[in-house]
Amino acid sequence: MLISILMLLTGVGVFIAGMNMMSSGLEKSAGSGMKTLLGTISNNRFAGVGTGIAATAIIQSSSATSVIVIGFVNAGIMTLAQATSIIMGANVGTTVTGALVALSGSSFDIDVFMMCLAFIGVMMGFIKNEKVKNIGSILCGLGVLFVGLDLMSSALAGTEIKDFFEGLFAVIEFPILLIILGVVFTALVQSSSAATGIVIVMVGQAVLGVNNAIYIVLGATIGTCITSTLASLGASVNARRTAFIHLIINVVGTIIFTAIIWPLQDVIVHWLSGIQDPMWQITIFHIVYKVLLTIVLLPFVKQLVALAEWAIKDKPAKEELKKLKYVDERLLKSPTVALMQVKKEVEYMANLAKLNLERSQEGMTTGNEKLGDEIYAREKDINFTNNAVTKYLIKLSPLVDESAEKVIGSYFHVLNDLERIGDHAENFYEIGVQMKNANMAFSDAAKAELNEMYQKVFEMFKIAVDAFDNLSTEHLAELTAKENEVDALKKKLNSAHVQRLANGDCSMDHSPYFFSAVAGLERVADHLVNVGYSILNPTGSQSKSV
């Protein structure tokens, strides 16, 4: 009995480890697909369901999909209605794991072949190619999953443990108790896919009857909500509403279908008995239940959103803690999605830096102090984004593959370059204010020269950000050429100012401000070259690509 229990627990552990390994490999392999999928979020509820099904089929976890969705809602880039339809789709997508488990009980002995995949996957892991490694992780996870299933099946085949479970389920055969058991068990293993898979194995070994298993499966759909509920703690009001909707969908579904199934239990079990394999009986039930639940509740998306808004009220207006616009800690569940969102944060920071640079042009040439509040507030946002995204990248780095590590390395450098551009913009504004306070102003000739240099820098800004956004090398040569023009312009402007001093057209007191402005603009141009070339080299160097 003790050996059988240890084998069962080991089998459960190996099964869950295999699931996690497989889902990790799938998520990394389908990285670009996930980006495309989650980048096409729309208000069409049918498209949302399709997105939820596809995303969950990719990462093999409805809990993980729900947590990612909560992260998107918390970041303000997904509405509650969009999140609701995606969560419904995720509920359907999670049935894929049950189908895989049912394959282990097929008449064709597939287990041995599947378990061999673990060895093949491990061997593929020794190959340096990242794509091959990811495929190896998928195969290894799939093989390990079937090893876990085999261990569970062997453990449950023992007479003593079978008698124990048969006696246990004879005592708790009341549907409500079975549903509660499903809730608790799923909350413990943190995965409805794993819980349902274990139930399917128990049905296959005749330890658990289909009549009892269907209620445990219903309970498992509620138990999986614990993950998203925990993920919503401390999040925004809408993120908590998303977790609430996830819970309501599954609770309402369980109540409706329990009310239907309970009085018709014998009819439903008889209908399922038409399927020869008991494992497929519960698998088909699971699929039909999830699909019907989605069909029933999909027309009520607006009502579910309204219910969530009624149940979880908006907080009284108060100063909110500063947070990033597109990135959320919960997105670390899917490193590929998290990296995609980090890129949006970097692009947002580039836009802040550009706006401050534009305002600084006016501030430097006019000394308009009214621009100060706007520039300083935006500079605080730039500094916050730089620090927060840097910390986020440090957490993300261990979770990504080798190719993504280079991208993260480039983001570190780009953030630093953009932060320095923001500092220069602030300095340019302060030059104008200091000159105005000292009753000084640049000559018309000096203003025209500085504006000419500014325009060159703005042209470089557009090229650099376009290259970073689109990962395009098409205009990098032009970026380099314009940097050379800025370098030449720096020498030209400095010489022209010296000539004005010699002619008596300008005061020596103006020189520190003029030379500082010209040098600062030239440094901004250098930082922009680094931003553009970051798509080839993490450091932004033009010397070689990696």
Q: Concatenate the DSSP letters of all residues of 30-45 into one string.
A: THHHHHHHHTT--S-H
Whole-number Å distance between alpha carbons of 541 and 438:
40
357 and 274 co-located in one domain: no
pTM for the predicted model, two decimal places: 0.68
3-class DSSP state of 543 = coil
Q: How far is residue 292's CA from residue 317's CA, in Å, rounded to a whole number?
A: 41
DSSP 354-390: HHHHHHHHHHHHH--GGGHHHHHHHHHHHHHHHHHHH
Number of residues that this document lists for the chain:
546
Residues 169 and 121 in one domain: yes
Determine how many CB atoms are found less than 10 A away from the CB of residue 359. 20
351 and 494 in a single domain? The answer is: yes
Domain-located, residue 144 = yes
Residues 110 and 197 in one domain: yes
pLDDT at 461: 92
Q: Which domain holds residue 403?
A: 334-533
Q: Does 327 map to a domain?
A: no
Domain boundary among 254, 280, 311: 311
Q: Is the dihedral angle over the CA atoms 266, 267, 269, 274 positive or is it negative? A: positive
Buried b (16+ CB within 10 A) or exposed e, 436-458: eeeeeebeeebeebbeebbebbe
* 276 & 338 share domain: no
Q: What is the CA radius of gyration of the chain?
A: 30
Tens-digit pLDDT profile for the chain (546 aa)?
Answer: 778 778 878 888 887 787 777 777 766 665 555 555 555 566 778 888 888 887 777 666 666 677 777 777 776 667 888 888 888 888 888 787 777 777 766 555 666 777 788 888 888 888 877 778 878 888 888 788 778 777 877 777 767 776 777 677 777 778 899 899 888 888 877 777 778 888 888 888 888 888 888 999 898 888 878 777 776 776 678 778 888 888 899 899 899 999 999 998 888 888 888 888 888 888 899 889 989 989 998 888 889 889 988 888 876 544 444 678 888 787 787 787 788 888 889 999 999 999 999 998 888 877 777 888 889 999 999 999 999 999 999 888 888 777 778 888 889 989 999 999 999 999 988 888 888 888 888 888 888 888 999 999 999 999 999 988 888 888 888 999 999 999 999 999 888 888 887 877 777 877 888 889 889 999 999 999 999 988 887 765 564 443
Question: Same domain for 244 and 385?
Answer: no
**For residue 480, with 0-12 CB atoms within 10 Å meaning exposed, 13-18 middle and 19 or more buried, which class applies?**
middle
Residue among 346, 328, 324 at smallest CA distance from 395? 328
Residue 511 falls inside a structural domain? yes
Among candidate residues 276, 311, 346, the one where a domain is terminated: 311
Contacts by 294-298, CB closer than 8 A, 24 or more apart? 294/49, 294/88, 294/89, 294/91, 294/92, 296/253, 296/256, 297/88, 297/249, 297/252, 297/253, 298/45, 298/46, 298/49, 298/85, 298/88
96 with 236, same domain: the answer is yes
Residue 320 included in any domain: no
Residues 239 and 355 reside in one and the same domain: no
| Residue 234, burial from CB neighbour count under 10 angstroms (0-12, 13-18, 19+) | exposed
Residue 538, domain member (yes or no): no
- How far is residue 208's CA from residue 279's CA, in Å, rounded to a whole number? 11
- The 10 Å Cβ neighbour count of residue 517 is 25
Q: What is the DSSP string of 187-251?
A: HHHT-HHHHHHHHHHHHHTTSS-HHHHHHHHHHHHHHTHHHHHHHHTTS-HHHHHHHHHHHHHHH
**Residue 319 included in any domain:** no
Cβ atoms of 151 and 14 closer than 8 Å: yes
Choosing from 311, 342, 367, the residue where a domain stops is 311
Q: Is residue 41 part of a domain?
A: yes
Q: Which residues contact 316 (CB under 8 A, 6 or more apart)?
A: none
Residues 302 and 355 in one domain: no
For residues 446 and 501, state if they share a domain: yes
Examine the domain organization and report whether 343 and 279 are in the same domain. Answer: no
What torsion, rounded to 10 degrees, do the Cα atoms 41, 43, 45, 46 define? -60
Please give the tally of structural domains in the chain: 2
d(CA 248, CA 267): 28
Is 74 inside a domain boundary? yes
CATH code for position 486: 1.20.58.220
Q: Are residues 257 and 372 in the same domain?
A: no
How would you class 495 by CB atoms within 10 Å of its CB: exposed for 0-12, middle for 13-18, buried for 19 or more? exposed
